[in-house]
C-alpha cells in the first residue's frame, strides 16, 4: 500500500506541497495498532521517521515487521514535555502524527487517572512542545468517534457536540478540544481525525472484539461477546486509517486554512457486534457459537460516523470494504498465532 519513494502525497491525483521523501516526521504511539501501519507507510514513502516509544513490546507489529530498525527511536512517555521538545528540536521535525493514547475502554473504566494522564496531559504536552518548535508545519491529532459521547442524532458529523461522559470518552473529548484550542489560540497547524473502531493485524489487545474473536476461533474456543451483541459500531480498517492520516497531513500542507478542523473517517456502515463476530466466523469456516455475556458497562450503545466532509473536501474514500479488511486481518492473525506456537 506504499507510494513510490519521493512521490507527493496526492488527493485524487492533485499534487500537494508535501513530499515525504526525507521529511522529518514524528509518530507518537508508533507501537500501537494504527501507529505501526502508519510508520510502515511513511517509511515506504521515504520519510525520515522518528518514533516515540514508551514500552518495548516485541510482539508488536512495528517490532515484528522490522520497521523499528528503519526509524529513529526516542524512548519516553507522551506526557514528558521535555522529552518531546528535545525530540522535535534535535531531529528538526516538520510533521507530527499524534496517536499515543490509552485506548482500551475497560482499562479507562478501572484506571481513569492513567487514561487521563496519557490522553489529556499527553496531548497538551505534545502540542505545547510543538508550539515551542519553529520547524513544525503540520500536526495530525488522532481523536475518536468516542469524543462525541452518546448522541440521539445519528450519524455523527463534525458539528456534533463533543460530550463524552465515561472516562475514555471524556479523555477523547478533552484531547480533541485541547487540539482545537492550540489551533485557534496559537495558530498551531493542527487538524483532528475522528475515526471509528479500528481493527486490523497487529492489535494485541485480546479483549477487543476482532483479535479476541479470531484467537478464540483459532484455538477452538467459543468467541466471547462482553455486551449483549446488539451494540452498533463503526469499524474502520487500520490501513485505511494510516492512509487517512497521511491524506489529511497533505491536505493541511496544501491548504493551511483547514487548521483547527476535524474530519471523520469511516466506511459509513452500521454493524452490530454479533454481526461482526458472525462475519469472522464465516470467514474462518467455523461453526462455533458466540458466548454472549451481557457484561459490558459504561459504553455507548449505538454510534456511527458520517465521512461526508472528508469525501467532499479531501476527495477521500476508504481503500477497503469491511469484508476485505476482515479477510486481511484474519490472514494476519493466522500467521501471527502460528508463529507464536512454533
Helix (H, G, I), strand (E, B) or coil at 150: coil
In contact, 148 and 157? CB cutoff 8 Å: no
DSSP SS3 for 1: coil
Q: Kindly state the greatest CA–CA separation across the chain.
A: 58
CA dihedral over 314, 13, 18, 20, signed as positive or negative: positive
For residue 92, the SS3 value is coil
- Whether the Cβ atoms of residue 165 and residue 150 lie closer than 8 Å to each other: yes
172 to 54, 160, 337: CA distances (angstroms)? 20, 14, 32
Cis preceding linkage at 155, omega within 30: yes
Spatial distance between the Cα atoms of 109 and 166, rounded to a whole number of angstroms: 8
> Among candidates 299, 317, 191, 237, which has minimal Cα distance to 33?
237
Extract the C-alpha cell encoding 80: 514528558
SS (H, E, C) 253-298: HHCHHHCCCEEEECCCCCEEHHHHHHHHHHHCCCCCCCEECCCCCC
Q: What is the DSSP letter of 190?
A: E
First to last CA, the chain: 29
Other CB atoms within 10 A of residue 311 CB: 17
Q: Is 168 a catalytic residue?
A: yes
Catalytic hit among 148, 168, 235, 333 = 168
What the block records as the C-alpha cell of 304 is: 456511527
Task: Say how many C-beta atoms besides its own lie within 10 A of residue 38's C-beta.
Answer: 30
Question: Which residues are known to be catalytic?
Answer: 168
Amino acid at each position: 500500500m506504499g507510494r513510490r519513494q519521493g512521490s507527493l502525497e496526492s488527493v485524487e491525483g492533485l499534487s500537494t506541497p508535501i513530499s515525504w521523501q526525507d521529511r522529518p516526521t514524528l509518530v507518537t504511539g508508533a507501537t500501537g495498532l494504527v501507529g505501526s501501519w502508519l510508520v510502515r507507510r511513511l517509511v515506504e514513502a521515504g520519510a525520515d521517521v522518528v518514533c516515540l516509544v514508551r514500552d518495548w513490546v516485541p510482539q508488536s507489529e512495528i517490532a515484528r515487521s522490522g520497521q523499528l530498525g528503519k526509524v529513529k527511536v526516542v524512548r519516553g512517555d507522551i506526557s514528558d514535555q521535555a522529552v518531546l521538545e528535545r525530540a522535535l528540536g534535535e531531529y528538526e521535525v516538520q510533521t507530527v502524527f499524534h496517536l499515543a493514547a490509552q485506548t482500551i475502554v475497560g482499562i479507562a473504566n478501572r484506571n481513569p487517572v492513567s487514561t487521563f494522564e496519557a490522553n489529556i496531559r499527553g496531548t497538551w504536552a505534545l502540542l505545547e512542545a510543538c508550539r515551542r518548535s519553529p520547524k513544525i508545519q503540520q500536526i495530525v491529532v488522532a481523536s475518536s468517534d468516542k469524543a462525541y459521547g452518546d448522541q440521539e442524532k445519528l450519524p455523527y458529523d463534525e458539528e456534533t457536540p463533543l460530550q463524552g461522559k465515561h472516562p475514555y470518552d471524556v479523555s477523547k473529548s478533552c484531547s480533541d478540544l485541547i487540539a482545537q484550542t492550540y489551533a485557534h489560540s496559537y495558530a498551531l497547524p493542527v487538524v483532528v481525525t475522528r475515526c471509528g473502531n479500528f481493527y486490523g493485524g497487529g492489535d494485541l489487545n485480546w479483549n477487543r472484539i476482532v483479535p479476541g474473536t479470531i484467537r478464540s476461533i483459532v484455538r477452538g474456543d467459543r468467541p466471547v461477546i462482553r455486551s449483549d451483541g446488539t451494540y452498533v459500531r463503526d469499524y474502520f480498517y487500520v490501513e485505511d486509517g494510516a492512509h487517512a492520516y497521511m491524506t489529511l497531513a497533505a491536505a493541511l500542507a496544501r491548504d493551511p486554512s483547514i487548521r483547527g478542523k476535524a474530519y471523520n473517517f469511516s466506511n459509513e456502515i452500521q454493524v452490530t457486534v454479533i454481526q461482526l463476530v458472525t462475519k469472522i466466523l464465516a470467514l474462518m469456516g467455523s461453526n462455533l457459537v458466540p458466548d454472549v455475556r451481557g457484561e459490558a458497562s459504561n459504553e455507548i450503545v449505538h454510534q456511527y460516523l458520517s465521512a461526508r466532509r472528508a469525501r467532499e473536501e479531501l476527495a477521500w474514500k476508504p481503500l477497503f470494504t469491511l469484508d476485505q479488511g476482515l479477510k486481511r486481518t484474519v490472514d494476519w492473525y493466522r500467521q501471527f498465532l502460528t508463529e507464536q506456537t512454533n
